[in-house]
Structure formats: structure tokens, C-alpha cells
Amino acid sequence: MSLARRLDEKLPDLVARGLVSGPMHLGIGQEAVGIGATAALEDGDIVTATHRPHSLYVGCGLPLDRTLAEMMGRADGQCGGRGGHMLVGDRRHGLLGPSGIVGHSLLLAVGHGVAQQRAGRRRTTLCVTGDGSVNSGAFNEALNMMALWRLPVVVLVENNGYGLSVRLDRHVHETELYRRGAAYGVPAVRVDGGDPEAVRDAVAHAVGRARAGGGPTLVEAVAFRDCAFSGSDRGGYRAVDEWDGYVDPLDRAAARLRERGTPEDDLARIARETEQEIEDAVAFAAASPWPDPADLLVYAAKWDGGQGR
């Protein structure tokens, strides 16, 4: 969680310096969801991400040097610098099928789930989406297909209360989103998205059910977005009292570790190591070469069935 937070704190600086381009969607305050959920997975499982994905990158174990190179558009990135910050795919670490279209990662997860079911290897797909996707046709069609075919998929709705600047109760009547599972006969649960252990336990239970052939589960993690929607967010749509009672999930986790006997020196060491890892990754990425424009033809031929002209 500390590494994901420090990454998100560093990225605006990289944008300001012109090292990273495009819209930037940070997940400050939501780190417990991605880190907790990925802690329930095993090698061979698949993750599809939403457009606020950085804690998933960290939780899946992506090498941050290559990931930052990807964000900077450099050749050493996982996608050769073509994906940007929210469309990173890393097959070796199980991160597949990113989509810039809200909710469409669920349709990709259906395909992954079918492949896993046919392979019979007791693997599962964690499909992470946001509260802004639940009204889309993709969300409802995918959940229905997953239920019909009893696919080994866990749908994790990261509910931070806003779809861009629209408050949840302005675009859905039933704000407890996990209740949507009942319409498709899908077991569902709501958890505290600021508690990484609560998220991990809920996802682990759903993953176990999927591995046993029980089909999909819907998990709603209620989180708090302690940052703007993106760099273009003008603000002004959130009430000041929304922050009343909010406790930073990193502070909660640190307090829990102290209660369990973790020495203060260990927490300080984590902070130092996190900072150094980010700085090393930035240095690697900034030194990475730009992609060769000629490679565009290679990629075009690859996705055209190898029939380059």
C-alpha cells in the first residue's frame, strides 16, 4: 500500500515535468482495495483492471521500472510505450485485457473465464471495475453470462462514491451495489474498501468458490477517493463534510501493525525502501529509449494476422 501511494504521489510531478502524458487517474485513498484483492490470488490467475489501476500494478508484482517506462511511452515498457498509465498489460504477471471503455473489462473477463474453465486448471479471473460501470450494458450482460456459464470470475466493484463528478445516489437508486448480484443469482458481499484484510478475505472466499466450480461472485468494496477524478477535474462537487470520519487506509494499516507488535523502525524502513524503489524506477524509465517508429509497422502486421504489406 505504501508503494502504491508513493507511486501516485510521484506521478503528478512526472506529468508536470512532461515525462508522462495524457490523463492521469490516481487512486489515493483506494490502495487497500487493489492490494487486498491481489493478495488473494495465485500464479496463473488473471486480473483485468479499471482505469484507476496503480494499486493493481503493485499488487500483481509488476516491475515498476518497466511500468513507469510504459507510462513515459518508452521502449522498455511492457507494451513498448504504447499503453500509457492505465492500459498496461503484463501477461507474465497475470494482468490482461485493459480497456479504456468504462465497464468493458467485464466482457474481456467473460472470455478469460471461459478459457480458464475449458482448461480445467482451477484458475480464476479477478475483474476489477468501478461504481460508474454498473449501469452499463457491459456490466449486466457480462454478469448474466458469468452466472449462466458458472465462470470462475470474481467481479470486484471499487465503489468510491462518484462516477467522475456524479455522486452515486444521482445515477443509481439502490446505492448498495452488491445487491445487483441477486438479480443474476450471483452471491454478493459488501466490504470496507479501506481495510486490506477485509478485502483480501472477501476476495479469497470468492476465489475459492470459483476454483471449486461454484461460479462468479460479486464483491463491492466501498472506498474513499482522496484525490481528484483526474488531472482535468475542476472540483466543487464534493461537500466538505464528506471527509468527516475519514481515516487514511495507510494510517489504519500502520496502526494495526503497531498493535500487533511491528516496531516503529520497520515502518520507517518501509517508507525509505518505498521511496528508493520509486526513484530507481523513475531513473530507469527516464533513461529508456523511445520506441523506433518503424516498429509501428511490425505491430500492425502482428495484429493483422502477420500479413504485413
Dump pLDDT digits (tens) for 197-207. Answer: 999 999 999 99
Q: Give domain status of residue 180, yes or no.
A: yes
Q: What is each CA distance from 305 to 13, 116, 147, 299, in whole angstroms?
A: 40, 24, 33, 10
18 contact partners, CB below 8 Å, separation of at least 6:
none
Tell me if 169 sits within 8 A of 159, measured CB to CB: no
| Mean pLDDT of the region 170-196 | 97
Q: Is the model's pLDDT at 164 over the cut of 90?
A: no
- The pLDDT of residue 305 is 64
Tell me if 250 sits within 8 A of 27, measured CB to CB: no
Q: Give domain status of residue 231, yes or no.
A: no
pLDDT tens per residue, range 35-47:
999 999 999 999 9
Q: Give domain status of residue 234, yes or no.
A: no
- The pLDDT of residue 278 is 98
H or E, element range at 11: helix 2-16
- Model's pTM, two decimal places? 0.94
pLDDT band at 99 (very low <50, low <70, confident <90, very high): confident
| Mean pLDDT of the region 115-130 | 96
pLDDT band at 51 (very low <50, low <70, confident <90, very high): confident
**Looking at 100-224, which runs of residues are DSSP E strands?**
125-130, 153-159, 162-163, 166-167, 188-192, 217-222
Q: Is the model's pLDDT at 138 over the cut of 90?
A: yes
Q: Which domain holds residue 201?
A: 2-226+247-303
Of 64, 57, 66, 63, the C-alpha closest to 38 is 57
| Mean pLDDT of the region 223-231 | 87
Q: Give domain status of residue 139, yes or no.
A: yes
Q: Give domain status of residue 22, yes or no.
A: yes
Q: Give domain status of residue 108, yes or no.
A: yes
How many other CB atoms are found less than 10 A from the CB of residue 120? Answer: 8
198 contact partners, CB below 8 Å, separation of at least 6:
36, 191, 192
Q: Residue 85 sits in a domain of what CATH number?
A: 3.40.50.970
Q: Is the model's pLDDT at 306 over the cut of 80?
A: no
| Mean pLDDT of the region 100-120 | 93
Q: Name the more confident of 109 and 242.
A: 109
Task: Quote the longest CA-to-CA distance of the chain.
Answer: 64
pLDDT band at 309 (very low <50, low <70, confident <90, very high): very low
- The pLDDT of residue 118 is 97
How many other CB atoms are found less than 10 A from the CB of residue 182? Answer: 11
Q: Is the model's pLDDT at 28 over the cut of 70?
A: yes
Instruction: Determine which of 18-22, 57-61, 260-264, 299-303 has the lowest per-residue pLDDT on average.
Output: 299-303
Question: What is the domain count for the chain?
Answer: 1
Tell me if 146 sits within 8 A of 110, measured CB to CB: yes
Q: Give domain status of residue 235, yes or no.
A: no
| Mean pLDDT of the region 171-187 | 96
| Mean pLDDT of the region 68-72 | 97
- The pLDDT of residue 237 is 87
Q: Is the model's pLDDT at 303 over the cut of 70?
A: no
What does the mean pLDDT of the chain come to? 93
Q: Give domain status of residue 233, yes or no.
A: no
